[in-house]
Chain A
């Protein structure tokens, strides 16, 4: 499965090497589907985007 991390959210204080996983509290991940679209799960739920939309909305180079 091809995945792409769109967003990494750190907890209060930002990056911290003394905390588990360096204080990363969540990540938004897109998964490539068989039809070429991407399924994104974030705080607004699950939705589908084309590769072009990923670039436009998330500023992500694929």
Chain B
């Protein structure tokens, strides 16, 4: 039975929405991390694209009930006249509660590839992964491309996105008066990521935060 525990870690009230447990859905339905959705009816211009440089994003996820998931994926909406092939390497990390940052890789789920000819729609990978209740996980998404044509022209495929302005990130403080909002995801290996999600990491490796991030979905199987 699902229940809501807003303070699963014993953190104080400043701990924010994106590390609160997600109420899990019924079997064969999907869940996604906390965030504000920009889906097919909302995307235009910069709301549909993600950060163009090669990098890794880590999105926090806590579920309120132990479940098994059998799909992970994202929503590919339109091509946006892209010419490059984009790769999205997906994985799962156990988080460090002390650092509020991913720590140890639990799984590599594989790669979703979006080439100019790829059919739009949901892009899903078959997986088999259990998630414990009230445990801090991070979904990982390593983004890279075949060539820099789209990067130089300011494009990425239009994906379903999530926006977040969570004080989990605000807690770290802004780096300058013109820094962007706090974020949906931690970013790592900015401009240097080549395709391997690291087996371990820590906040010392953090590059930046992403206020807008492709929305990853997970399907519950048990």
Contacts and interface: CB of A to CB of B under 8 A. Distances in A.
Nearest to A4: B121
A55 B125 contact: no
B127 A12 contact: yes
Interface string B78-115: 10000000010010000000000000000001111100
Query: Taking chain B's interface residues, is the majority helix, strand, or loop, or is none over half, making it mixed?
Result: strand
Interface string A1-37: 0001111111111111000001001011000000000
A45 interface: no
A55 B75 CA distance: 12
B119 A8 contact: yes
Given A7-B121, A11-B126, A14-B90, A59 B75 contact: yes
Interface of B: 39-41, 71, 75, 77-78, 87, 90, 109-113, 118-128, 160
A50 interface: no
Given A7-B121, A8-B122, A14 B40 contact: no
B112 A14 contact: yes
A8 B126 contact: no
Given A14-B109, A16-B110, A59-B40, 9 more contacts: A5-B120, A5-B121, A8-B122, A10-B110, A15-B112, A56-B41, A59-B77, A61-B40, A61-B77
Contacts of A55: 40-41
Given A14-B112, A59-B40, A59-B77, A9 B119 contact: no
A6 B123 CA distance: 9
A59 B125 contact: no
A4 B40 CA distance: 15
A39 to B, nearest CB: 16
A11 to B, nearest CB: 5
Contacts of B112: 10, 14-15
Contacts of B124: 7-10
Interface centre among B39, B113, B160 (most CB of A within 10 A): B113
A5 to B, nearest CB: 4
A28 B192 CA distance: 36
6 contacts: A6-B121, A7-B121, A9-B125, A14-B90, A15-B112, A56-B41
Contacts of B120: 5, 60-61
Contacts of A15: 87, 110-113
A34 B122 CA distance: 25
6 closest A-B pairs (Cβ-Cβ)? A14-B110, A5-B119, A7-B122, A15-B113, A13-B110, A59-B40
Nearest to B160: A59
Given A14-B90, A15-B111, A15-B112, A6 B78 contact: no
